[in-house]
Amino acid sequence: MKYSQNEKILQITAETLIVGVDVASLTHYARAFDYRGIELGKMIRISNDAEGFLKFKSWIDDLKQKHSKDAVMIGMEPTGHYWFNLAQYLKDCGMRIVLVNPFHVKRSKELDDNNPTKHDRKDPKTIAMLVKDGRYLIPYIPEGIYSELRTAMETRCYIVKQLNGIRNRVKRWISIHFPEYSSVFKDWEGQGALIALKEFPTPKRVLEEGPQAIAAHWKKAGLRPLGKKRAAKLTAAAKASVGVREGLMAAEQSLMILLEDYEVKMRQQMQVMVLVEQLVCQIPGVEGVLKIKGIGIVTLAGFLAETGALGRFDHPKQIQKLAGLNIKENSSGKHKGKTGITKRGRKRLRAVLYRVMLPMVAKNPEFRELHRYYTTRAQNPLKKKQSLILLCCKLIRVIFALMQKQAAYDPQKMMSDIRRPDLPVAA
């Protein structure tokens, strides 16, 4: 992979046809230029279907032949999901695809005419000029098992988001209609608590059932430990309840719908996780990473779904930049402003790393010791959040090394690799 500005510019020669495409949901617009910015041919409209793609390919082939071009570079904005199909088609045809930052397009569209106007004829030229100047990104389209893993983890993320919404709505329902319920059951998702919510959700229904009938429901489900004491406690809570008593029929129906959705989403989550586990276990080198205390299937799957094949990276710092964990500087002359992380790149990758680091500094001995050292060292002690970010970068390096070398995790080696400068001895 070539990342520097000079290397990107050098990839565009006099024999390169530069095509800028303004991507939309139904119709794309494209214009072609040479390496000096001279337009070749007329703008073309491309429908987002097989016929339009064939027309686009024929247009490119004609321009290449007419102007003696032997290479083509197609630039486009990553507009939502609309560019996926066109990019896949062009990739299958052996054409090179690059992406330009939509923010750059917005900022540079006035360079030619000093006019903030935005329309379908202007945008393809702006995109092509950015490509000509080497201001583009090389997209990574995952293939094979990594494509499967990314799709599966996106599905899991969608299900988890819906599950969290359902959980919050059930908690809201309980706090309105039976607020004392939480004093009887710490977690409404437990088996006994779910039976109670399905069979006798409101204080009125609890009092109608009585302790004996309630205990019988749990006994039938094989939950003997709950028994009569818990049933009596639930009945006492129902007697003293201050929950809303109006509209109970509709409220019970609403709760039943929520619980049905909850069970469906839980089954779907289990199905997705079975597939995720099968996919992760097929990737070489994952065994060593999973031996790190605190790293599980979900974390590793989320990491690999966002990064793709680690072999495409030359250095773990590239993954750090992909996650938006690289440092940004704010200085000018003698002024030295505060530094921070860029937060660019794939936000899900950054979220996966940060979320796993919170329990790791609590339960993993090596990372807990490193966190303690970074936050308490005599010279330049870090704040807790700064230390967590630094440890996220450390985790990237550890995962990269283990999977690339397919080595076993060695806690002592990881700790010994850290170079701590000796403090000067006081006179």
Angle between helices 191-199 and 203-220 in degrees, nearest 10: 130
Question: pLDDT tens across 113-128, in order?
Answer: 777 777 778 899 999 9
Distance CA 397, CA 292 (A): 13
With cut-offs at 50, 70 and 90, classify the pLDDT of residue 420. low
Q: In terms of Cα–Cα distance, which of 68, 71, 135 is closest to 99? A: 135
Write down the pTM of the prediction. Answer: 0.88
Give me the domains of the chain, ranges plus CATH numbers: 5-132 (3.30.420.40), 148-277 (1.10.287.4070), 286-330+337-416 (no CATH)
In whole angstroms, give the CA distance from residue 135 to residue 131: 5
Which of 268-272, 306-310, 378-382 shows the lowest mean pLDDT across its residues?
Answer: 378-382
Partners of 21 in the β-ladder: 30, 76
Q: Is the pLDDT of residue 158 over 80?
A: yes
Cα torsion 351, 352, 355, 361: sign = negative
Can you point out the beta strands (E) in 131-172? none
Residue at token pair 């800028």 = 20
Check residue 113 and give its pLDDT: 74
CA distance 100 to 136: 5
Residue 425 clears pLDDT 60, i.e. is over it: no
Please give the helix or strand (H or E) that residue 348 lies within, else none.
Answer: helix 347-363
- Percent helix / strand / coil, the chain, rounded to 5: 55, 10, 35
Closest among 238, 233, 255 to 172, alpha carbons compared: 255
Residues 211-246: pLDDT tens digits? 999 999 898 888 877 778 999 999 999 999 999 999
Which CA distances in Å does 401 have to 147, 180, 323, 360, 385?
22, 52, 17, 19, 25
Reading the block at residue 64, the tokens are: 């290449």
Contact between 37 and 129 under an 8 Å Cβ cutoff? The reply is: yes
User: What's the CA gap between 416 and 427, in Å, rounded?
Assistant: 29
Please tell me whether residue 18 adopts helix, strand or coil conformation.
strand
Where does the pLDDT of residue 345 fall: very low under 50, low under 70, confident under 90, or very high at 90 and above?
confident
Provide long-range contacts, Cβ within 8 A and 24+ apart, for 279-283.
279/145, 279/148, 279/149, 279/152, 280/149, 280/304, 282/145, 283/145, 283/403
Q: Hey, CA dihedral for 217, 221, 222, 225, is it positive or negative? A: negative
Q: Which two tokens stand for residue 78?
A: 């990553």
pLDDT (0 to 100) of residue 418: 60
Contacts with 117 (C-beta within 8 Å, 6 or more apart), sequence order = none
**Is residue 20 within a helix (H) or strand (E), and if so which, with residue range?**
strand 16-22
- Structure tokens that stand for 82 in this block: 């609309």
pLDDT-derived band at 424, boundaries 50, 70, 90:
very low
Task: Give the pLDDT score at 422.
Answer: 52
